[in-house]
A and B are shown apart, each in its own frame.
Chain A
Amino acid sequence: GAVVSQHPSWVICKSGTSVKIECRSLDFQATTMFWYRQFPKQSLMLMATSNEGSKATYEQGVEKDKFLINHASLTLSTLTVTSAHPEDSSFYICSARDHGTGGANEQYFGPGTRLTVT
């Protein structure tokens, strides 16, 4: 149980184009999903918290107009990198909190999406 998928697993796009990454909770409902980015050999940096049916909450320094988040259902959140540039190249990881879980705030992570902008 508690499986989270991401699609695509890797993507190469040209500078100036937009890329959409999907995050799905496969066997549980997730009212809250999180989007992280990870640079090589570094830790995860939280970008935003995605809440089903409401606007995402962005961390300080993250441009909400560049990283569009939509959480339209209890099992799907999408991150769209708009007008991507080479500095947006990174490993993007989503996680989902099981709606039915008790108080441990457990998050289950997707396998990540490697974005390369040329």
Chain B
Amino acid sequence: GEDVEQSLFLSVREGDSSVINCTYTDSSSTYLYWYKQEPGAGLQLLTYIFSNMDMKQDQRLTVLLNKKDKHLSLRIADTQTGDSAIYFCAESKTGTASKLTFGTGTRLQVTL
């Protein structure tokens, strides 16, 4: 079955870079996503990457995909206190009616 794993917690200083990691088991994953959830709120789609890509950059966000190792990472440059949230990676496959399988979530804490 599908399994998506993340480390539970990450603490960084404001201004530093954050790297949140995710591993998945299903090699047929087509799209991989990063979502952000602030306390008591829904999920905000940050970015996604297609499985035939290695890297995608969008302003402060850089997504790296190692398909061989089934490893996905999200790098946030110049981390700000407003970046404190839970970050979920998720995967989906073509032809599965867009179903997402979510990781366990990583709580990012940004300290001054």
Enumerate chain A interface residues (CB-CB to B < 8 A): 4, 6, 32, 34, 42-44, 46, 49, 57, 93, 95, 97, 103-112, 114
Contacts and interface: CB of A to CB of B under 8 A. Distances in A.
Interface of B: 30-31, 33, 35, 40-45, 48, 50, 88, 92, 94, 97-105
B53 to A, nearest CB: 12
Contact of B41 (A46, A49, A111): A111
Given A49-B97, A107-B98, A109-B43, A43 B105 contact: yes
Nearest to B50: A104
Contacts of A106: 33, 45, 48
A107 B45 CA distance: 8
Given A43-B88, A104-B50, A97 B103 contact: no
Contacts of B42: 4, 6, 93, 95, 109-112
Contacts, number: 58
Given A93-B42, A105-B100, 17 more contacts: A34-B99, A42-B104, A42-B105, A43-B102, A44-B88, A57-B97, A93-B43, A95-B42, A103-B94, A104-B50, A105-B30, A105-B92, A106-B33, A109-B35, A112-B40, A112-B42, A114-B40
A109 B37 CA distance: 10
21 contacts: A4-B42, A6-B42, A32-B97, A32-B98, A34-B100, A43-B88, A43-B104, A44-B88, A44-B102, A46-B100, A46-B101, A49-B97, A49-B99, A57-B97, A104-B31, A105-B30, A105-B31, A105-B92, A105-B100, A107-B98, A112-B41
